[in-house]
Amino acid sequence: MFSTGTTYFLILVIVYILLVWGALIPFRAGLLYNGTVYCMAIGGYVAGFLSKNFDLPFIVCVLAAILVGLILGFIPALGFARTNGIVTAISSMALIFILESVIRNLDFLGGSTGMTGIHKENHLLLWAVILLIIFGVFLYRLNNSRIGRAWEAIQTDPQMAQSLGVNTFWMTVAALTLSSVFSATAGAVYAFNMRVLYPGTFSFTFLLNIMTMLFVGGRYTQWGAIISCPLLWSISVFMPTSIQKLSNYIYAVILILILMLRPEGIVTRRMTNKVKNFFTAKLSRRRQGAKA
Amino acid sequence: MESFIAQLINGLSTGGIYALIVLGMNLLMLVRNIVHHSFSHICVLNMCIGWLAFGYTQNVLLAFLAMFACGVLVTVATEPLFRPLSKRGADLETIVLAMGVGIIITEIIAQLFNNGQMMTFSDEMRVLNVGFSFGTVTFSLANIVALVACIVVAVFLVWYLFKTANGRAMRAMAQNLRVAKMLGVPFGKTGVLGFGIAGLLSACIGIICIMCLGYANAEMGDTFATKAVILMLFAGQGDIKGGILSSILMGVVEAMALAYLPGRWTEAIFYGFIMIVIIIKPNGLFAKKAAN
């Protein structure tokens, strides 16, 4: 349907959207979690390993990646749920360095030279879109559920949330674990898209890309990612080479300006409420019209 | 035994450099309640400016002066970026903003200085890098200078913070910004002063790094930054004595691990150990009272 370049671009955008959602869920519980890249590397390497050595189909690899990501995200989450604020942000960043060092030392994962020979999946874009829709609907339902409201309470004031009967510890663990599921899925799709994985890819720069997309798009709603990911990623793909060289500058400058001037990001909670009101108001007017 | 003592001195000097960076970040933590993740990037930028200035003038003193000027100017220039965030009390966002600043500085070093190649400093700039032998143990004078400088700077900082009016103002702002403002502490002036002192400190760190290491490249900023931020949390935010002790301790541990453990796992052990300590004691190893 699309040319190879466009398909590649679209799949990477979907990967980024999933990752930003992965960073958004802990943020709803008031935590800045930098472990998304860690879980993404886990998902990518699990999917790649299964596809390369056991020749399993795409969806089995994704499910396995989700399972392993869930388990390996759950264990550090038990620790991070005890911390808050800057401490979580920094100590989860350390996870990235630990995992990178571990992958470099494991020969069956390709070590420093990288993992090659991941099988080609012909309908990857279709699969990616299906996964995006499933996760998007799931996240939307979750945001408006009991758990989502509990997270929002924790974000506003942890002590108030506790006094209202929210179990902050397990809610935070749940947020971090769900975040790792999103990131592991993104990693699996990424592995099948690139078909070669280097430990150096999952690094600090990658984390900054995700953070930029999260903060520029708006970190209180899930819709910000859908706008900011294509916008920012196209800077480093479609622009002429002379500008591409400056893409890191552009990312950093956009991030700094947004943080200084528009704290909630492009898509704010107010904006989504307005859109919601616009549609619901129209609907109710129509209903009234039908009655009359 | 000789190699052990040499490694010990080496580790102590590395720890001294870490301690200086942690001191600078602790100072900024007190002034504006921010985690200035890009502080060590500024130190590396200072080294590069020194390299450039020495290339033009062939005069060591002028090069050092240029480093001091650059350090103060760049550090103070970052203050307006953090101001709206610290007024808003958004401490989580400051670390992301600082990461953005760090990326910009890293890109500047990688693209503008020496075409991204590693910069090596001549012996004239490494004035104090004189071999020194004590019995059968030989070591460089610069290592001792790093350790001594760390202690001198720490004593000076403690004196400044606890005995002068400006230092008291900084501590007041660290405790409670609103009350401090109400009592007439000038928000802007005190902050700029703190950033200026941190800038001087960053130039000192640059000079000591030139003497001890003798090279500079773009990746150094990231490595130092992550280690320094993690060490700062390890000791407890804003804790000056704890920061120095833990930095020197970890410098020694790192040197010993590099020398005596199989080298491949050093990084994983270093970060893993610190992460576990941070998770068990979220307020830092030297925290006296638990936060409520």
Contact at CB, B229 and A90, closer than 8 angstroms? yes
* pLDDT at B292 exceeding the cut of 50: no
Q: Rounded to a whole number, what is the distance in Å from the CA of A215 to chain B's nearest CA? A: 9
Which is higher by pLDDT, B262 or B214? B214
Contact B279 A82 (CB under 8 A): yes
Interface touch A94/B90, C-beta < 8 Å: no
Q: Which residues of B touch A94 (CB under 8 A)?
A: 226, 230, 271-272, 274-275
| pLDDT for residue A292 | 57
**pLDDT for B28-86, tens place per residue?**
888 888 888 889 999 999 999 988 888 888 888 888 899 999 999 999 999 888 888 88
CB spacing of A91 vs B233 below 8 angstroms:
yes
Average pLDDT score over residue span A232-256: 83
- How confident is the model at residue A281, as a pLDDT? 78
**Structure confidence at residue A189 (pLDDT):** 92
> With contacts defined as CB-CB under 8 Å, which chain A residues touch B95?
32, 86, 89-90
Which candidate from B103, B237, B265 shows the least CB-CB separation from A208? B103
Instruction: Give the pLDDT confidence of A121-149 residue by residue, as tens digits.
Output: 888 889 999 999 999 999 999 988 999 89
Say which of A97, A208, A261 has its CB closest to residue B99. Answer: A208
Instruction: Give residue B73's pLDDT.
Output: 93
Whether residue A21 has pLDDT greater than 50: yes
Report the pLDDT value the prediction gives residue B263, as an integer from 0 to 100. 61
Q: pLDDT at residue A157 above 80?
A: yes
Q: Hey, which bits of chain B come out as E strands?
A: 119-120, 131-134, 137-140, 215-216
**What's the rounded mean pLDDT across residues A260-267?**
83
Residue B71 is predicted with a pLDDT of: 92
How many helices (H) does chain A have, and how many strands (E)?
A: 13, 2
Confidence band, pLDDT 50/70/90 cuts, at residue B290: very low
pLDDT in tens, B219-247: 888 888 888 888 888 777 777 888 888 88
pLDDT of amino acid B278: 79
- pLDDT score of A270: 84
Are B100 and A212 an interchain contact pair (Cβ–Cβ within 8 Å)? yes
Would you list which residues of chain A are within 8 Å, Cβ to Cβ, of chain B?
32, 79-80, 82-87, 89-91, 93-95, 97-98, 100-102, 104-105, 204-205, 208, 211-212, 215, 245, 248-249, 251-253, 255-256, 259-261, 263
Distance from CA of B83 to the nearest CA of A (A): 8
Question: Average model confidence (pLDDT) for chain A?
Answer: 86
Band (A19; pLDDT cuts 50, 70, 90): very high
Q: How far, rounded to the nearest angstrom, does the alpha carbon of residue B63 sit from its chain's CA centroid?
A: 20
Distance between A210 CA and the closest CA of chain B, angstroms = 11
* Percent with pLDDT over 70 in chain B: 95
Residue A150, CB half-sphere, CA atoms under 13 Å: how many?
18
pLDDT, tens digit (0-9, with 9 covering 90-100), for B11-20: 888 888 888 8
User: Which one of A79, A90, A205 has the shortest CB-CB distance to B233?
Assistant: A90
Q: Pick A132 or B126 by higher pLDDT.
A: A132
Q: Indicate yes or no: CB of A260 within 8 angstroms of CB of B91.
A: no
Give the model's pLDDT for residue A183.
Answer: 93
pLDDT per residue as tens digits for the range B86-116: 877 777 788 888 888 988 998 888 888 877 7
The percent helix, strand, coil of chain B (3-state, each to 5) is 75, 5, 20
Residues in chain B with CB shorter than 8 Å from the CB of A212 are 100
Share of residues in chain A with pLDDT > 70 (%): 96
Residue bearing the bigger pLDDT, A107 or A182: A182
**Chain A residues whose beta carbon lies within 8 Å of the beta carbon of residue B111:** 245
Q: Can you say whether the dihedral through the CA atoms of B220, B223, B226, B227 is positive or negative?
A: negative
Which residues of B are less than 8 Å from A251 in CB distance?
Answer: 100, 103
| pLDDT, greater one: A182 or A91 | A182
Task: Report the share of chain B in percent with pLDDT over 90.
Answer: 10
pLDDT score for B72: 93
B290 chain-A contacts, CB cut-off 8 A: none
The ipTM assigned to this model is: 0.82
Instruction: Give the per-residue pLDDT at A139.
Output: 92
Mean pLDDT of A204-230: 86
Q: What chain A residue is nearest to B292 in terms of C-alpha separation?
A: A159
Decide if B271 and A263 are in contact by the 8 Å CB cutoff: no
From the list B95, B226, B274, the residue facing A86 with the nearest CB is B95
The CA radius of gyration of chain B, in Å to the nearest whole number, is 19
Average pLDDT of the segment spanning A91-105: 85
Helix B266-280 to helix B219-235 angle, to the nearest 10 degrees?
30
Q: Nearest Cα to B229, choosing from B37, B96, B94? A: B37
For residue B222, the chain A residues in CB contact (below 8 A) are 204
Residue of B nearest to A246 (CA): B107
Mutate to test the interface with B, among A84, A91, A205 (most CBs of B within 10 A): A91
Task: Determine phi and psi for A208, rounding to 5 degrees.
Answer: -65, -35
H-run or E-run covering A115: strand A115-116
pLDDT at B218: 83
Within 8 A of B278 by CB-CB distance, chain A residues are 83, 87, 90-91
CB A43 within 8 A of CB A65: yes
Confidence (pLDDT) at B5: 82
Give the Cβ contact number of residue A76 at 10 Å: 23
| Position B291 confidence tier, pLDDT thresholds 50, 70, 90 | very low
